[in-house]
Chain A
Amino acid sequence: MIERLQHMAKKVGRPLYGNRRLISYYWERTRRNKLAVFGIAFILFLILLGVVGPFCTMDPTMVDFEKKNLPPVGFTAVKSLYHIETDELTTTEIHGTWKHPLGTDSKGRDMLAMIVSGARVSLLVGLIATGIAILIGTVIGVLSAYLGGWADNVLMRFTDIMMTFPFFLLLVLIVFIFGPSLAFIVLVIGLTGWTGTARLIRSESLSLRTREFVIAARALGASDGRVIFRHLIPNVISLIIVIATLSIPGVILAEAALSFIGLGDPTVPSWGIILEAGQHSLDTAWWVAVEPGIMLFLTVLAFNFLGDGLRDAFDPKSNV
């Protein structure tokens, strides 16, 4: 089995990374799009943050009630204390310190550390769930187009059924039954999010299948597997890249939204979880909710810009 898989893997075309000229051409075209460059820069920054960040910041789970609700550097917050003996309300001003550049939350945890570890979580969620979705979508789309006939019908009607399924309700249901586990959430997002991909890949492969080079390959004795791996998939790879880039932010947002309504995994500090915790203290410590919110906003924007840029770069008809 493993041997067969290795054999298959060898057959898979390598259209892009083996071709420096094409890469530099696409890079040239992407680079002209300023927003896409911002996207790339921000995503690289995020990856760096997720990979090395956690080693440079303090422990995001360290609770210190002495230092709770510290504002970020440069901001001041008013802390009011109620003295029960005198029945008086005293207010003191507290300033942000460089020890906690982004402030602390209501349990005194360092916001910077939490944002950094949240970046790691969000990226993992986005990449893994998208990876699963793209894989399933590509397999189903290509098979559907290539096999045609009743197989196409079965696969596409299955896709239609999956599409009509309210995926957010399914998520809620699963979290309700199995408890809020991040792995489950990622799995469910991946297993339900492939439908659009399958349809796009199918329509692209349908037109490829009738192209002469596919018929020519078959006329010279290529097997079905070879046609799919050497001729169909390499020709839809640019489409796959664009779909993947554009679907990552959706996945990240889905996880955040789930956390926000209280169905996230409370043991993992994702941006959604921090946001949810922060919404209760918006009047006393606005930064707890605003900081992960800004990060989410920028991340989603960055992936969308990059996806748009790549789509234009891969499209030979657009003149970027």
Chain B
Amino acid sequence: MNDVILKATNLKTYFFTRRGVVKAVDGVDFELRRGECLCLVGESGCGKTVTALSILGLVDSPPGRIVDGKVMYNNLDLVKCSPKQLRQIRGKEIAMVFQEAQSALNPVLTVGDQVMEQIRVHLPIERREARNKALSLLEEMGVPSAERVMNSYPHQLSGGMKQRALIAMSLTCDPQILIADEPTTAVDVTIKAQILDIFRELKAKSQMSLIFITHDLAVVAEIGDRAVVIYGGKNVESAPVSEIIANPKHPYTAGLIECLPDISQTTDRLTSIPGNTPNPIALPQGCSFHPRCPKAMEICSQRQPPQITISQEHEVSCHLYQ
């Protein structure tokens, strides 16, 4: 396919610690197409963030290492790139927005300084020009009184403002791909809606591709085109968002959807998937979800399920559909 801009195949990132090998990412596959929004969905600790960091070559080494797999970006394997090549790509072609705006901004520099610096890292322009560009970027992000925000330190701003500043920073070079790592998790609902609007607008205006990392299926439904559900460092299901919400195949995906509280019904207890995410040092034998799976069978604890194609766009890794 021609419009695939980023393709990860069998990506494996392990951390070699004293207590054992942590298989944070253990075979993740996905394709990102030009102009689409791909959601990586999963619980905390399932390897979403490490996947994103692996794409950019930002896994701390040691102890972490990408042990296998490819990340093809425009005929370039990012896994094999030199640090210098990667630095050229980071920020300019692939940018990333982090989860917590408070900690992703340097506390001792003003927001303006940081946005301007971001501009000047990649573009050979003067301070004054950079300042103007930073101002217009912030205004584009819907920051009221951008001048004041520029001169403020991160702790003087609200979470929403900081998140916008961060997004502005990541957009300075009009990157091809924007990776957003749970950008709506640390803000409240109204800000969340506004930030999702920003992303939606971005997608509509430019041909930018988005990788949206989240654990929130409501967000996925709102912004995603396609979704990849990750569990225990592997993808378990990938499909277009409408399909995955309406017709989830994998018991884990189904469980996640059931967990969404329904505002029209009154219940005493919220549904949850029993158990915890598996210990990545000792992943369970066979399908890593089987200890929590309501439909677990004999075979689930013995063999890893193969990838099964349900329809052209819908793939699932589960023994149920064999």
Q: Which residues of A contact B (CB under 8 A)?
A: 13, 15, 148-149, 210-213, 215-223, 226, 230-231, 234-235, 237
Contact = CB atoms under 8 A, between A and B. Distances in A.
B87 A221 contact: yes
List the 9 closest A-B pairs by CB distance, nearest first.
Answer: A221-B91, A220-B91, A212-B103, A219-B96, A221-B90, A216-B104, A15-B108, A212-B104, A213-B106
Given A220-B91, A221-B92, A215 B109 contact: no
Contact of A221 (B98, B99, B104, B121): B121
A220 B96 contact: yes
A149 B92 CA distance: 28
Contacts of B91: 219-222
B105 A213 contact: yes
Most buried by B among A212, A220, A222, A226: A220
Contacts of A237: 108
Given A219-B56, A220-B169, A230 B106 contact: yes
Nearest to B113: A13
B148 to A, nearest CB: 14
B87 A213 contact: no
Nearest to A234: B108
Contacts of B118: 220
Given A221-B92, A221-B122, A223-B87, A216 B107 contact: no
7 contacts: A210-B60, A219-B58, A221-B91, A222-B117, A223-B87, A230-B117, A235-B107
Interface string B89-129: 11110011011100111111100000001100110000000
Contacts of B92: 221
Given A212-B98, A226-B121, A220 B106 contact: no
Contacts, number: 73
Given A234-B108, A235-B108, A220 B121 contact: yes
Most buried by A among B58, B98, B105, B108: B108
B95 A235 contact: no
Contacts of B103: 211-213
Interface size bucket, B side?
Answer: 20 to 34
B62 A149 contact: yes
Contacts of A149: 62
B166 interface: yes
A210 B62 CA distance: 13
A223 B100 CA distance: 22
A226 B88 CA distance: 14
The main secondary structure of chain A at its interface with chain B is helix
A148 to B, nearest CB: 8
Nearest to B88: A221
B170 interface: yes
A212 B56 CA distance: 15
A231 B170 CA distance: 17
Interface in B52-82: 53, 56, 58, 60, 62
Contact of B58 (A15, A211, A218, A223): A218
B98 A216 contact: yes
Interface string B165-184: 01001101000000000000
B170 A217 contact: no
B121 A216 contact: no
Nearest to B56: A219
A219 B95 contact: yes
Contact of A212 (B89, B90, B100, B117): B100
A113 B14 CA distance: 70
B208 to A, nearest CB: 15
A13 B108 CA distance: 9
A160 to B, nearest CB: 21
Contacts of A15: 108-109
A13 B109 contact: yes
A210 B103 CA distance: 11
A120 to B, nearest CB: 35
B169 A231 contact: no
Contacts of B106: 213, 217, 230-231, 234-235
A218 B98 CA distance: 12
B6 to A, nearest CB: 15
A222 B109 CA distance: 15
Contacts of A220: 90-91, 95-96, 118, 121, 169-170, 172
B107 to A, nearest CB: 7
Contacts of B122: 221
Nearest to A211: B103
Nearest to B154: A213
B90 A219 contact: yes
B166 A216 contact: yes
A15 B107 CA distance: 10
Interface in B29-60: 53, 56, 58, 60
Nearest to B169: A220
Contact of B96 (A13, A210, A216, A230): A216
Nearest to A13: B109
Contacts of B98: 212, 215-216, 219
Contacts of A221: 87-92, 121-122
A135 B75 CA distance: 45
A212 B60 CA distance: 13
A222 B92 CA distance: 11
Given A212-B99, A219-B58, 10 more contacts: A148-B62, A213-B107, A220-B96, A221-B88, A222-B91, A223-B87, A226-B117, A235-B106, A235-B107, A237-B108
B58 A230 contact: no
Contact of A230 (B89, B109, B170): B109
A223 B87 CA distance: 7
Contacts of A148: 62
A282 to B, nearest CB: 52
Nearest to A210: B60
Nearest to A11: B117
